[in-house]
Amino acid sequence: MHTQLPFFVLIQVSGDDRHTFLHNQLSNDINHLQTNQACYATYNTPKGRVITNMIVYNTGTDILLAVAADLAEILLKRLKMFVLRAKVQLTILPDWGVSGSLKDNMAIVYPNEPHLVLPCNAQNEIVLPHGGSLKIAPENELPAYDATTESAWNTHEIACGFPWICAATTETCVAQMLNQHTIGGVHFRKGCYPGQEIIARAQYRGQVKRGLAVAHNQINQTVGAPVLDTSGAEVGLVINAQGSLNLLVIKHGMAKAKLYDSSENPFELKHLFFDLNDGT
C-alpha cells in the first residue's frame, strides 16, 4: 500500500552550518547524521514542551525536516530567530511531499528500543521501526494520494504508539509523554538544545506522570480534545485519532479508571506505553 501523506510539509535546511545549527536546536544528534540517513527529533520550548516532532533526513546536499503542515510556518519562523550569523538558509518546499508505504495487514510493532538513526532502503525510502517506510521527494515522483491507504497508515502508527504533534496539540507534552525517548527521538548524550535540561531531568528523576495509551471510542474524536474522568476533570488529551482508534496522553494514575470524552462517550484502553508503577 502506497500513498502521499498530506499531513506533512517539508522544510529545507541548507548552508555550510546546517548540521551544527540543527544539532543545537533539535533533540537528536544531527552532527553525526550521514547522507541518506534520517532520524526522529523534537523541537521544544525552553520548558521542555514539544512544539513539533519531525523526521530529519540528510540528503547529502541539504537536510529536510518533515513536519505537520499546520506547524511548518511556526517552526520556520522560530528556527530563523536563532540563525544569527550561521551559514544556514531555511525554506518550505511547496512542491515536495512525503509518501508512506505499508504492507497489507501489517502486524502491530510496539517500540522496544530507541532507533536514533533510521536507514534508507534500495528504493530511497526511510525505514521506520514499526515496519512502514517513508519517501521524501518532489510530489511528481511520489505515488498518488489514496484515502483508504492513508487511513491504514494512520491506524498503524496509532496502534504502534508513534504519535504526531499538530497545531491542536503543540506545547502540550514533554517528549517522554509522546514515546520519543522510546522510539529514538531524543539523544540523551548529545549536549544542549532548547528544553534539554527539563527533558533530561524528567528522564533520570522519573518526573513524567503522563504517557501514551491506545484507546477505542465509538465516536470519532477531535485531535486535542480533553479526556475526562467520572467527575469531569481533565486527565489527558487526544493526540491522534483515526476512526474509532485513538492515541491518548493520560495521567498514569488514571489507567485503570473510567475515561470519557466531553460528551460522556467512554474510552476503552487497549494498550499502555508506560508502567503503571511510574506515578500517580
The parent domain of residue 235 ranges over 209-280
Is residue 198 assigned to a domain?
no
Q: What is the mean pLDDT of residues 252-280?
A: 90
Q: What is the mean pLDDT of residues 171-178?
A: 96
pLDDT score of 276: 80
pLDDT score of 166: 98
Q: What is the mean pLDDT of residues 125-130?
A: 97
Give the pLDDT band of residue 67 (cuts 50, 70, 90). Answer: very high
pLDDT tens by residue, 134-173: 999 999 999 999 999 999 999 999 999 999 999 999 999 9
Q: What is the mean pLDDT of residues 25-30?
A: 98
Is residue 225 assigned to a domain?
yes
pLDDT tens by residue, 267-277: 999 999 998 87
Is residue 183 assigned to a domain?
no
pTM for the structure as a whole: 0.95
pLDDT score of 280: 41
Q: Which of 122, 140, 160 is the last residue of a domain?
A: 160
User: C-alpha grid cell for residue 17?
Assistant: 552550518
* Domain CATH code at residue 257: 2.40.30.110
pLDDT score of 63: 98
Q: What is the mean pLDDT of residues 51-76?
A: 98
* Domain CATH code at residue 70: 3.30.70.1400
Co-location of 144 and 27 in the same domain: yes
pLDDT tens by residue, 87-111: 999 999 999 999 999 999 899 999 9
Q: What is the mean pLDDT of residues 6-26?
A: 98
In whole angstroms, how far apart are CA 160 and each of 74, 170, 220?
28, 21, 19
pLDDT score of 204: 83
Is residue 273 assigned to a domain?
yes
Question: In the chain, how many domains are there?
Answer: 2
pLDDT over 90 (residue 183): yes
> Hey, what amino acid is at 175?
A
Co-location of 40 and 156 in the same domain: yes
pLDDT over 80 (residue 185): yes
pLDDT tens by residue, 194-238: 999 999 988 888 778 999 999 999 999 999 999 999 999 999 999
pLDDT over 70 (residue 278): no
Co-location of 156 and 214 in the same domain: no
Average pLDDT over all residues of the chain: 95
pLDDT over 80 (residue 279): no
Count CB neighbours of 127 within 10 A.
17
Q: Which of 160, 181, 198 is the last residue of a domain?
A: 160
Co-location of 19 and 145 in the same domain: yes
Is residue 196 assigned to a domain?
no
Is residue 176 assigned to a domain?
no
Percent of the chain with pLDDT over 90: 92
